[in-house]
Copies of this chain bind each other. A is one copy, B any other.
Amino acid sequence: MPRTVLDRDDAVRALAGVFRRRGFESGSLSVIQQETGIGRGSLYHFFPDGKADMARAVLAQVRGWFDEQVFEPLRTAGDAGEAVARMTQVVEEYFVSRDRVCLFAAMTLGEEQETFAREVRAYFADWVGVLTETLHRGGISGPDAADLAVDAVAAIQGGLIMTRALDDDAVFTGIVARTGRRLHAVLS
């Protein structure tokens, strides 16, 4: 069996794929090996604390992407309308290209809920928080901004469920587009 060398980031990326397609529990180490080619020795080398360690690394990587591509652009945007339009666009592309699964949302179910509660809570709280601030900067005042932000993130997450259930990407892209339009309307 020829040996394959890889780096940790690539391992995390491959793990993310398995967890999206299979779920965390059903993504056993054997399945991970079959689908990614990464063996047990390598997995434990990179993630000495085992499977939860792997999931934590995956969540951290996804979080890093969102910080860079969603949260930071919202935070530093000059124009709220443009920032929101960009957010809906990158988020739509991200999820459509990744099995229509949000791993943070998946971790709110079953036994993972407790294990990753802090990471999950931070992700959603930060997303809603930074979007609320963006709406504030765009002239939406008081509790309205927070409600709109919560509703927008909920719509995106609910859209993912609907699109998987109905097996139709157009459901998600439709929901995201209408969400974007709703936000755009109040920013004008």
Contact = CB atoms under 8 A, between A and B. Distances in A.
The bracket for how many chain A residues form the interface is: 35 or more
Contacts of A178: 147, 151
Interface string A124-154: 1100000000000000000000010011011
**Copy number of this protein in the oligomer?**
2
A31 to B, nearest CB: 9
Interface stretch (A5-13, A33-41, A59-67, A115-123): A115-123
Nearest to A143: B174
A165 interface: yes
A109 B101 contact: yes
Interface of A: 21-27, 101, 104-106, 108-113, 117, 120-121, 123-125, 147, 150-151, 153-159, 161-162, 164-167, 171, 174-175, 178
